[in-house]
Amino acid sequence: MKIGVYSPNWIGDAVMALPFIHHLKEKNPESKIIIICRDWVAAVYENHPEIDQIIKLSRSDIKGFFATRQIGKSFQLLDLDVFYTLTDSFRSAVILGWSKAKIRIGFKSQMRSIFLTDVIENPKEKMHRSLKYLTLINFNKKVYNSIGIQLTNGEIQWAKEELKNMKLEFPMVLFPFSVASSRSIPNKKIKEWLNGSNQSVLILGSEGDAVLANSLINECTGIKLINLCGKYSMRESMAFISVCQFALASDSGLGHISASLGIPTISIFGAGDSEMTKPIGKRTFVINKDVYCSPCRKNVCMNTKDHLYCFNEILQIDVKDAIQSLNLNP
């Protein structure tokens, strides 16, 4: 049997989809699983033993009606028996419809039911996003033992050599940035939390984050920060993360990646809802003060009286306690 899975479009959501992939394969062990995803999230799925094929879609591939229709019709050649969409988007359902897969499954959303053969109601109760995906296959248990992101031995060895060339050993890695300013950690809080630490800290992020990282470094005098934003591919960044001692993360895709790789990860939540989107992993710690205005789930802080109150209430002692709980010694 051939099963297609239309992936979420965000890195963190793609990582949270891995338990769905695991249990889908568990229920259909002889099936061939094909992931259809945006090209920027493909790195999450590469080298995964439960995934047989990855089809990457660029922005231009599905820009506009005619391109979307062409992509959908091209999937007819896959001859899929079942096609799931994990996103709530109208476009993904249209692509499923044009694929003519025998069974097309997705959540009820955006008047797209006509393109699906099996329409699943969105869960009414609040739940973690990984569990929401699992309801598509009628699996609703809390499971965190699925196979996470898989790196090759070569990728890990490459990262070790890069660190050796930088004269670094077992550094900490920092992901302070998010696509939403309300989820990006303010520079002054990084300076406060890391004050007095002698550990080298790698800053990872996108190419667009490089200027922000330099600003952070300029503000955090006396702290050993190294800007790697945009200098490496996503898979190379993953390899770097895998050889670090621990990660300090904003509510971001890189935080989900480090947790999936089994790296001790401290996730700082601002506007986001940690009950729904916290990273999955056995060595994770979430700092969320649950202040009166959270979770607002806004991309920009709307609290004009106590701007970014959710971050400002988190003190250095909170971060130190989290580090200690994970048996770390920075």
> Over the stretch 44-57, which tens digit does the pLDDT of each residue have?
999 999 999 999 99
Domain boundaries, position 131? 2-137
Question: Which band of pLDDT confidence, cut at 50, 70 and 90, is reported for residue 110?
Answer: confident
Q: Is the pLDDT of residue 186 over 60?
A: yes
**DSSP result, 249-291:** E-SSHHHHHHHHTT--EEEE-SSS-HHHHPPP-TTEEEE----
Q: Classify residue 150: in a domain, yes or no.
A: no
Q: What angle do CA 277, 281, 287 make, to 5 degrees?
A: 55
Q: Are residues 20 and 120 in the same domain?
A: yes
Task: Look at residue 282 in the predicted model and tell me its pLDDT.
Answer: 87
Cα–Cα distance, 42 to 38 (Å, whole number):
7
Task: Look at residue 162 in the predicted model and tell me its pLDDT.
Answer: 95
For the entire predicted model, the pTM comes to: 0.94
Task: Look at residue 177 in the predicted model and tell me its pLDDT.
Answer: 95
Q: Are residues 226 and 318 in the same domain?
A: yes
Percent of the chain with pLDDT over 70: 98
Q: Is the pLDDT of residue 280 over 70?
A: yes
Task: Look at residue 140 in the predicted model and tell me its pLDDT.
Answer: 66
Q: Is the pLDDT of residue 76 over 60?
A: yes
Q: Is the pLDDT of residue 144 over 80?
A: no
Task: Look at residue 90 in the predicted model and tell me its pLDDT.
Answer: 95
Q: Are residues 186 and 56 in the same domain?
A: no
From 321, 153, 169, select the one nearest 245 (Cα to Cα): 169
Rounded average pLDDT over 93-117: 95
Give the list of residues 6+ apart from residue 24 with CB closer than 8 angstroms, or none: 3, 5, 31, 33, 84, 137
Task: Look at residue 297 in the predicted model and tell me its pLDDT.
Answer: 86
> Over the stretch 247-262, which tens digit does the pLDDT of each residue have?
999 999 999 999 999 9
Q: Classify residue 243: in a domain, yes or no.
A: yes
Q: Are residues 90 and 181 in the same domain?
A: no
Task: Look at residue 184 in the predicted model and tell me its pLDDT.
Answer: 95
Q: Are residues 129 and 173 in the same domain?
A: no
Could you give phi then psi for residue 266, rounded to 5 degrees? -105, 115
Q: Are residues 102 and 18 in the same domain?
A: yes
Q: Are residues 52 and 171 in the same domain?
A: no
Task: Look at residue 141 in the predicted model and tell me its pLDDT.
Answer: 66
State the total domains in the chain.
Answer: 2
Question: Which band of pLDDT confidence, cut at 50, 70 and 90, is reported for residue 146?
Answer: confident
Q: Classify residue 143: in a domain, yes or no.
A: no
Q: Classify residue 148: in a domain, yes or no.
A: no
Cα–Cα distance, 258 to 236 (Å, whole number):
13
Task: Look at residue 145 in the predicted model and tell me its pLDDT.
Answer: 72
Q: Classify residue 286: in a domain, yes or no.
A: yes
Question: Which band of pLDDT confidence, cut at 50, 70 and 90, is reported for residue 139?
Answer: confident
Percent of the chain with pLDDT over 90: 88
Q: Is the pLDDT of residue 142 over 70?
A: no
Amino acid at 58: S
- The overall average pLDDT reported for the chain is 94
Identify the CATH number of the domain in which residue 131 sits. Answer: 3.40.50.2000
Task: Look at residue 56 in the predicted model and tell me its pLDDT.
Answer: 98
Q: Are residues 287 and 165 in the same domain?
A: yes
Rounded average pLDDT over 70-81: 97
Q: Are residues 229 and 321 in the same domain?
A: yes
More confident residue, 141 or 276: 276
Question: Which band of pLDDT confidence, cut at 50, 70 and 90, is reported for residue 174?
Answer: very high
Q: Is the pLDDT of residue 312 over 70?
A: yes
Q: Are residues 17 and 165 in the same domain?
A: no
Q: Are residues 97 and 32 in the same domain?
A: yes
Parallel, antiparallel or unpaired: strands 201-203 and 172-175 = parallel
From 167, 155, 173, 137, select the one nearest 263 (Cα to Cα): 173
Could you give phi then psi for residue 263, rounded to 5 degrees? -80, 135
Q: Are residues 113 and 205 in the same domain?
A: no
